Amino acid sequence: MDAEQWPSLFQAFASSMKKNNAVLNNLVDLMLDAVCVVNTAGRFVFVSAACERIFGYTPDEMIGRVMMDMVLPEDRARTLAAANEVASGQAKSYFENRYVRKDGEIVHIMWSARWSDVDQLRIGVARDITERKQAETRQAALYSISEAVQAAEDLMTLFQRIHHIIGELLPVLSFSVALCDEKTDQLRFAYHMNKLEQTTGMQPIEATLSAEVVRTGQPLRLTAETMGDFPDSLQALVDVDDLCWLGVPLLAHRGTVGALVVRGGAGSARDTEEDLELLQFISTQVAAAIERKQLEARLQYMAQYDQLTGLPNRVLFHARLQTALSWAQGEQGQFALLYLDLDKFKQVNDTLGHAIGDLLLQEVAQRLKQSVRNSDTVARIGGDEFVVLLGKIQRSEDALLVAEKIHRSLSLPLTLDSHVLNAQVSIGVALYPDDGLDDKQLLKYADDAMYRSKKISIAAFALPLKRVGHD
């Protein structure tokens, strides 16, 4: 029999309640759904045995209580409106609201109710639909996570969105994502938020749990019930009387790429086990997204950076040059280009081998980066050719000072695999807007100036500064 038919049945029996009270009570108490009878004052005057399973209170504890006091505050207004409609003679079916159980948990109820005019009572049948509502909520959350994985432009945006989604399902007090560095195999914390402390700083427990999950590759549930399974050093970091910790590995095709750790409120063993299963499902999607984003990052890096030196390549350099041009044109500012070429580099390759030549290029790249500001760009655009973009300079002499600094740095001996070399470099300088108004003009001017500088003795850099390439 459907739940909405029970109020009619109960009402039919109500008139004989005094005569057949024991029979009726026995029948009602067999129902899996709960029967509740409320008087005009809004207080329970009868509840069936199923109420204790659903609401957590015994029938004796519920009799005399105001029904509305048990309703979740957010649902009271519409529940009162529905109760008034029932009292006016309008039967209600499939009405849903939420109650607060005796243990503080929230239970979702679907009601079927009608008014007994003869008895001046509101008779309702309550069906616990909490599991169904939770399943629906989780399914919707999983769809949301799938959409977030597809739509996120970067990992930080994805982690923030997943944190929000999980927070709607679980009592999340802190949320952490630790990733394995592909080069060092060390853990780095890509995302962390602590709701209690309002801080992004990692705590020892989160770092330890993340490392343990990554080490074992297995999910972890740290609660009062499971505490004995963990070493004393870990137990000392957490107060399991109030909190529980859940951690799951982020498993991708190439192995464990990190860990997701959640700090939540203490719950039953069943609840935390279900929460852990949910996190495991989520983690598979997160791991796939991380792997894809990391692959995209690697491909983007390969497209924009020189694989030997790690410097920006020609493509990325031209993009930054266009940005500098846009800024300078809009702000009436100036910047400089330095075009560099290693002298006698072919001789190094021919006499010492390409391996030494590669080491030389790598060392030159490092010294160039150390000679300029972090905001400047050093790029490798050819075999032994480099360019330096000096943004937002105040005077033309600033570019010449940097050129001299670079020359002094590269003139220092380089020890490469037991070989000691003295690098020689030719540098050409071009200024915006003096030497060109677009990228082609500036690069051509700097390139021409660099080739002319090859005819000048390296010692010229020790003389008073003079613009190479100008009359």
Catalytic site includes residue 117: no
Position 370 scores a pLDDT of: 93
Calculate mean pLDDT across residues 350-379: 91
**Among the listed residues 204, 199, 203, 180, the one whose alpha carbon sits nearest the alpha carbon of residue 190:** 180
Phi/psi of residue 85, nearest 5 degrees: -65, -40
Q: What is the number of other CB atoms lying within 10 angstroms of the CB of residue 238?
A: 21
Sheet of 34-38, strands arranged across: 44-47, 34-38, 121-128, 106-116, 92-100
Same domain, 348 and 417: yes
Last residue of a domain, one of 252, 276, 302: 302
- Kindly state the helix (H) or strand (E) to which residue 133 belongs, with its residue range: helix 130-151
In degrees, to the nearest 5, what angle opens at C-alpha 470 toward C-alphas 468 and 471?
125
Q: Does the residue 471 lie in any domain?
A: no
Same domain, 205 and 247: yes
Q: What is the CATH number of the domain that holds 350?
A: 3.30.70.270
For residue 181, count CB atoms less than 10 angstroms from its CB and return exposed for 0-12, middle for 13-18, buried for 19 or more. Answer: exposed
Same domain, 288 and 323: no
d(Cα 466, Cα 470) in Å, to the nearest integer? 8
What is the pTM assigned to this prediction?
A: 0.59
Q: Which of 31-40, 59-68, 153-162, 222-231 has the weakest average pLDDT?
A: 222-231
Same domain, 39 and 114: yes
Same domain, 252 and 286: yes
Same domain, 90 and 183: no
pLDDT in tens, 37-85: 999 999 999 999 999 999 999 999 999 999 999 999 999 999 999 999 9
Same domain, 14 and 137: no
Same domain, 144 and 291: yes
Same domain, 235 and 341: no
337 band by pLDDT with thresholds 50, 70 and 90? very high
Question: Identity (one letter) of the amino acid at 176?
Answer: S
Calculate mean pLDDT across residues 351-367: 90
Position 93 scores a pLDDT of: 92
The encoded tokens of residue 420 equal: 């000691």
Q: What is the CATH number of the domain that holds 100?
A: 3.30.450.20
Calculate mean pLDDT across residues 174-199: 79
Q: Does the residue 209 lie in any domain?
A: yes
Please give the tally of structural domains in the chain: 3
3 state DSSP class of 230: coil
Q: Is the Cβ–Cβ distance between 82 and 94 less than 8 Å?
A: no
Domain that holds residue 226: 133-302
Q: Is the dihedral of CA 350, 352, 353, 356 positive or negative?
A: negative
Catalytic residue among 75, 128, 384, 447: 384
Q: What is the CATH number of the domain that holds 283?
A: 3.30.450.40
Last residue of a domain, one of 235, 269, 302: 302
Q: Does the residue 432 lie in any domain?
A: yes
Last residue of a domain, one of 105, 128, 151: 128
Task: Provide DSSP, 271-307.
Answer: HHHHHHHHHHHHHHHHHHHHHHHHHHHHHHHHHHB-T
Same domain, 192 and 107: no
d(Cα 62, Cα 41) in Å, to the nearest integer? 14
Q: Does the residue 309 lie in any domain?
A: no
Same domain, 245 and 274: yes
The shares of helix, strand and coil residues in the chain, as percent rounded to the nearest 5, are 45, 25, 30
Q: Which of 9-18, 175-184, 192-201, 354-363 has the weakest average pLDDT?
A: 9-18
Same domain, 172 and 290: yes
d(Cα 453, Cα 291) in Å, to the nearest integer? 48
